[in-house]
Amino acid sequence: MPSSSSTRPTAPASVWSARGRHLGPAAEDVLRPALQQLKNSRTIDDHMELPETEGAQASAFEARWRVAGSVTVRARLTVGRDSGDGQEWTLVAEAEAPWDPRWPSPAAMFWPQGPDAGWDHEAVTGLRLTDINPLPSDDKAVRRILRDAARDGWCVHVVVHEAMTTDERGRVPLAGMLPPGLRHRVVEHRAAPSQLRVVNWALREFGVEVPRGGAVVLPGSPVPDGYDADDFAVRTVFLDGSEPAELIHAVTRFAALPRPLPDGAEDAVTALREDWRLLTLEEELDRERKLVAMYAEALDAMTKSRDLYREAAEQAHAALAAYRESADAVPEPRPQSPASPAASPLQQLTRTFERLKGSARTRRPEEGKAVEAQPEAADR
């Protein structure tokens, strides 16, 4: 089974997130009347569509409502462009308190509800979020779907094995029995009686196994801390229309585990917190007060900087004036006559030769006298 990730931040306890795919007409045309109807019925307090910037690849909608009487929830839904197989959407909501799964699903605060809704498809596999999804008969397709489901970090995927072919009572979707906050985050896969072997073969690399006639909650990726395949496997699920309490408990426990944020969720949470536009009058006034305080602080810093600069300039001018006064008090030195230019090497050589000539002339008469004195001494 894949190891859990320690590099991704853990999803805040106050955050609800989901991702899906809209397969109907333009999602924006579906969302606008649905949001207005919810506001008219006072299900939500307010909503707005964010203005699109040039080159934007997605539309964004914000909504605000209250749960448990006074807990405010803020949510943002982004819808991408149609890629040919629908429009992918991402929904992130944050409450002023830890999220309670008994609160309404944020998806129900944006999208219209109904069995023919085109928005409630899981983004990776394209399967329904609020209905039963029978596994295909082709073994390769089964393996591909379950491997994608086991790696999905956005939704909770549950695989249920039918021990025998069920009637209408056994075809009640699990989503309708879950707490409201989980109904649009769970994908239910149904395996026919003959598909148990191929299902477990596809899930073997993830270390999980579906009991015969039972169910298992898949680990997702990254695997949350505290996940153990045996703890989230249900031995028996009675598909007779009764509430599968043990399976609901397993799904609820899994959803409550501290889980790393899936790919793309961190940016969505940051945008929700830092770029929120749907402000109440009190929030707008508070924001304006903060802006005024920020500008006042910046102006004060500029004023202090200007005063420091002026003080430094005055000190520099005073130092320069003192230097000039001291320079005027010192008498100017007398100008010295320029030194005689140094003789060139040729002149030095000429003078040397002249001195040699002079010494040679003085020595020659003395040498003659000495020669003349020598014969006189011989005659004696």
Question: What are the domain boundaries of the chain?
Answer: 15-281
Q: Check: CB of residue 199 under 8 Å from CB of residue 161.
A: yes
Tell me the one-letter amino acid at 256: A
Q: Check: CB of residue 178 under 8 Å from CB of residue 194.
A: no
Q: What's the rounded Cα separation, in Å, for the pair 122 and 186?
A: 9
Q: What's the rounded Cα separation, in Å, for the pair 180 and 78?
A: 22
Q: What is the DSSP code (8-state) at residue 180?
A: G
Q: What's the rounded Cα separation, in Å, for the pair 271 and 265?
A: 10
Q: What's the rounded Cα separation, in Å, for the pair 82 and 24?
A: 10
Q: Of 136, 203, 191, which Cα lies nearest the Cα of 166?
A: 191
Contacts for 350 with CB less than 8 Å, ≥ 6 apart: none
DSSP string, 218-248: ---SSPPTT--GGGGEES----SSS--HHHH
Residue at token pair 């045309």: 29
Angle at alpha carbon of residue 195, lines to 191 and 197, rounded to 5°: 125
What beta strand segments (E) does 221-324 contain? 233-234
Tell me the one-letter amino acid at 255: A
Q: What is the pLDDT of residue 202?
A: 94
Q: What is the pLDDT of residue 54?
A: 75
The DSSP H or E segment spanning 200 is: helix 196-203
Q: What's the rounded Cα separation, in Å, for the pair 186 and 149?
A: 11
The DSSP H or E segment spanning 35 is: helix 27-40
Q: What is the pLDDT of residue 331?
A: 63
| pLDDT in 10s for each residue of the chain, 380 residues | 444 445 678 889 999 999 999 998 899 999 999 999 999 999 999 999 999 877 778 999 999 999 998 999 999 999 999 888 899 999 999 999 999 999 999 999 999 988 778 999 999 888 999 999 999 999 999 999 999 999 899 999 999 999 998 888 899 999 999 999 999 999 999 999 999 999 999 999 999 999 999 999 999 888 888 899 999 999 999 998 899 999 999 999 999 999 888 888 999 999 999 999 999 887 777 766 777 888 888 888 888 888 788 888 888 888 888 888 777 766 656 655 555 555 566 566 667 666 666 655 555 555 444 444 444 444 44
Q: What is the pLDDT of residue 380?
A: 42
Using DSSP, state whether 154 is helix, strand or coil. Answer: coil
Output phi, psi for 373, to 5 deg. Answer: -70, -25
Q: Of 125, 135, 133, which Cα lies nearest the Cα of 194?
A: 135
Tell me the torsion sign for CA atoms 224, 157, 142, 8.
Answer: negative
Tell me the torsion sign for CA atoms 190, 194, 200, 203.
Answer: negative
Q: Check: CB of residue 189 under 8 Å from CB of residue 120.
A: no
Q: What is the pLDDT of residue 370?
A: 45
Q: What's the rounded Cα separation, in Å, for the pair 239 and 244?
A: 8
Q: What's the rounded Cα separation, in Å, for the pair 350 and 333?
A: 38
Q: What is the pLDDT of residue 157?
A: 96
Number of other residues whose CB lies within 10 A of the CB of residue 282:
8
